[in-house]
Structure 1
Amino acid sequence: MARTVKRAFKYRFYPTPEQAAELARTFGCVRLVYNMALQARSEAWTLRRERVSYNATSALLTGWKKTQELAFLNDVSCVPLQQALRHLQVAFTNFWAKRAGYPSFKSRKRSRRSAEYTTSAFRFRDGKLTLAKMSAPLDVVWSRPLPPGASPSTVTVSQDAAGRWFVSLLCDDVIEQVPAPGMGSVGIDAGLDSLLTLSNGEKIVNPRHERADRQRLAKAQRNLARKEKGSANRAKARLMVARIHARIGDRRRDHLHKLTTRLVRENQTLVIEDLTVRNMLGNRSLARAISDAGWRQFRTMLEYKADWHGRNLVTVDRWFPSSKLCSTCGALADRMPLNVRSWTCRCGTVHDRDVNAARNLLAAGLAVTACGDGVRPQQETSRTGRSSAKQENPRATKGIPVL
């Protein structure tokens, strides 16, 4: 069984000076059009309680191009400008549906520099990509092949803070949905000492990418702080800081990609905990380590890869007491401070905190998939004195050795 999905393939490229100048102008025009359209829509609502649609902003763009002050908008491709208006429409749609906050203006210094081209604004032939308003193809480093017979529907060009240029091609890709070997199931507990702890007892080491480059980063930031604002030396120092951050992010992303791919290929059902990472970052003692672990990025990757390969991904309620619950007898400990890494239940079982939590997550997840049960057990039920989710526990932990 196979499934066709939309998949973006990202590559690095090296533009000529003329291409870099053209793309820089496009980025600036995209940002300007987005901000002007956002201002027009905000004023229309504030003054007249009127909702401006995408078609209305497209008509405004046509008028802006005819003015003398904004005639330079005609020098770049019109497609990225129209795409910016579409992105703004999506932002407002998400805001009205209460999925996101109110759209904000794009900053020249802080916002992502990117432009999106549709099929009418680029040509892809014989492995060469040529954008509108350009006479020569981009010098793309094809680090991995595109799917056979791929025809990109959109192309997104971007430049990161480190000055690197990237092009992302959105294509249809066919993914074979092969069942996992043995139809296995695994509970996954995220942590800091170990990045992940699995219900089978395996612990995955936390690479701590930011800590490895912390001294280099601190030195580069001190060097940046000493430079005069607006000087060429400050621009060079800022670029050095950005390159270190890019190196940290690339290594973290690569590690998480390999890890999530292995988990999805080896297991049919994966159970994780619904962590509120944003709230956890309020802990000033752990915020840096939590950010370095990349829990939110790990969950995002796991979600879309599980969907691609036809896996079952179960998310357990964040209030489920996975650490305080004994995976052997189901007893609930009174309290479990973070500094307690192993504990002994009154039934005599000695638990590793993280392994026990992963087993409880797996049991709760299998209870959900088996009977649609809840995953936040109460202290006791009317008949059994045990949580309903724990009734699935003996089957979930059968064959798993107790530490």
Structure 2
Amino acid sequence: MKQFKPQPGFTVLAHKLALDPNATANRHLHSHGGAARAAYNWAVAYITAVWWQRKAEQSYGIAEDQLTEWRSWSLPSLRKASNEDKRTNPRFADWWGENSKEAYNTGLAGAAAFDNYAKAKSGRRKGRAMGIPRFKSKRKAHPTCRFTTGTIRIEPDGRHVTLPRIGRVRLHEDASRLRALLDAGHMRILSATARLDRGRWFVSFQVEEKHQLVKVARPDTAVGIDLGIKTLAVLADSDGVLGEEPNPRHLERAQKQLRRAGRVVSRRQGPDRRTGQQASKRWEKASRARNKIHHRVANLREDTLHKMTTRLAREYGTIVVEDLNVAGMGRNRRLSRRVADAAFGEIRRQLTYKTRRRGTRLVVADRWCPSSKTCSRCGVVKAKLPLGMRVFVCENCGLVIDRDANAGHNLAALAARTTGTGVAGDLDPAKAKSKPRGADRKTRSTRPRREAGTGRAGGTIPGPRARAETGDRQQDTGAQLVLQ
């Protein structure tokens, strides 16, 4: 995909708007989404055909230099090959011209997944291991199409958009504010992406918008956010004010409806890929009813998180959060559903771009920073603090405080030591007592550990001494500042 570089004084943003297409527009949108999926599947078959051919040739003992040459998965080469194939392939000859060229370009650009797979295999790509790209199913894939050329605009009435080959589509919400920015020359549309998500069509405009900083309410105040399951977020700022964000637990509240809907789906004749059995109409109807519940839960969660993160980004000049191992927490079979419902990773992602947009700071505390074990009054660090102990009691100064509130105060004080802003609540390192063994590490689970080298990532799990040395080095830094 093409990356746009904004002009000086401008920044690249995205605005996501819901659509209310009529029957004709809905058919065109589905057609473009299906064309993009067909182009992607063609690219996967075109590239992997050589892989299997080389594997078969190697089984016959053919020399390496005599094997079939690899096919390039760069976008220009795939475009050239697809243009040659569409004239002779009977699958594409009948309907290829019904859609915009951007639909097929969207599918071919998705073949960049092969580049991610190759870099992951060679160790040049960070993150989890990538598998070989697979075909997209018509039943499971989300129809999507990205437009970069042609007529892309928001109509003057602010209630319609125009997309290439699709035409005029009504918006579900009023976009007069965006239209005013376009008329004033403060915004320019770069691309538009139509996508069917949660049963509704959306259009996302990638725009180049004039950057306007808005002063936050308390620019000299830092707030520490301790995320949890019982309480979604415990807030403690450098002035000592404490607040809580309750965990609405949208998924847990909908479990009764989901169980009932799941039983209805299980009693219907569903699809079976092994036997080729098609889903019945009653199964599809029951599946849509169940998906509607999931969509409502996702919408409620998204609304809750956006309201909380926007309020924090508008009020505080410095926000401190923990670097949680959300993937590891999700592997706990007792807490995985509640961790997924709380969406800790989404909270940090939203705070990252919202603080960058407002010119404020986001400080990420080190993963092994003992925020819960450290006394927020005297600085003494406990050796162990089990997760079941919800009240922090300091044996040195006698402080009795909620565990999460204590962590929030420590995170707020961490901002002063890390950024040098001079905000209140700084802890004097000279007052901190010597740390007992294990104080610089999170409390480990009592479950038996796996043997070294058996991790999913294929690496060797370090021993306790190696982790302790790593924790001591990380304790010196305390936190890492996200570059704005």
Counterpart check, 1:195 vs 2:232: yes
- 1:320-365 deviation per Cα after TM superposition (whole angstroms, max 9, x unaligned): 1111111222212121111111021112111210011112222334
Aligned residue type for 2:205: L
Q: TM-score, normalised by structure 2?
A: 0.72
Could you tell me how far 1:45 is from its partner in structure 2?
Answer: 6.0
CA contact 2:355–2:362 (8 Å) conserved in 1: yes
AA in 2 matched with 1:16? N
User: Match for 2:419 among 364, 369, 378?
Assistant: 369
Q: Percent identity?
A: 29
Alpha-carbon distance in 1 for matches of 2:307, 2:314:
11
Q: How does 1:2-401 map to 2 (within 5 A)?
A: 4-44=10-50, 47=54, 48-49=69-70, 51-67=72-88, 68-71=90-93, 72-89=95-112, 92=115, 96=119, 97-99=124-126, 101-102=130-131, 104-105=133-134, 106-120=136-150, 122-126=152-156, 127=158, 128-134=160-166, 136-147=167-178, 148-149=181-182, 150-161=187-198, 163-180=199-216, 181-199=218-236, 200-229=241-270, 230-347=279-396, 348-370=398-420, 380=434
Please give the per-residue CA displacement for 1:286-326, whole angstroms capped at 9, x wherever unaligned: 11111111111111111110111111111111111111111
> 1:201-222 CA deviation, whole Å, 9 max, x = no partner?
2111111111222212221111
Q: Secondary structure at the match of 2:321?
A: strand
SS in 1 for 2:209: strand
Structure 1 residue 129: deviation in Å? 2.0
User: Against the structure 1 CA distance between its residues 224 and 203, is the aligned structure 2 distance closer, same or farther, given a 3 Å change threshold?
Assistant: same
Q: Secondary structure at the match of 2:232?
A: strand
Flag the 1:146–1:112 CA change in 2: closer, same or farther, 3 A: farther
Q: CA deviation at 1:175?
A: 4.4
Quote the offset at 1:172 in angstroms: 2.7
TM-superposed deviation, 1:107: 2.5
Contact persistence 2:72–2:78 (CA under 8 A): no
TM-aligned CA distance change 1:111 to 1:380, over 3 Å: farther
Unaligned runs of 5+ in 2: 1-7, 55-68, 271-278, 422-431, 441-471, 479-484
Once the two structures are TM-superposed, the CA of residue 389 in structure 1 deviates from its matched residue by 9.2
| Cα contact 1:92–1:103 (8 A) shared by 2 | no
Q: TM-score, normalised by structure 1?
A: 0.86
Q: Distance in 2 between matches of 1:247 and 1:198?
A: 28
Q: How many residues align?
A: 381
Please list every run of 5 or more consecutive structure 1 residues that lacks an aligned counterpart in the other structure.
Answer: 372-377, 394-403
2:195 and 2:203 in contact (8 A); partners too: yes
How far apart are the structure 2 equivalents of 1:129 and 1:309?
29
Q: Distance in 2 between matches of 1:75 and 1:9?
A: 28
The alignment partner of 1:339 has SS state of coil
Q: Secondary structure at the match of 1:343?
A: strand
User: CA–CA distance in 1 between the matches of 2:72 and 2:386?
Assistant: 51
Shift of 1:283: 0.8
Q: What is the DSSP-based 3-state SS (H/G/I as helix, E as strand, rest coil) of the residue aligned with 1:137?
A: strand
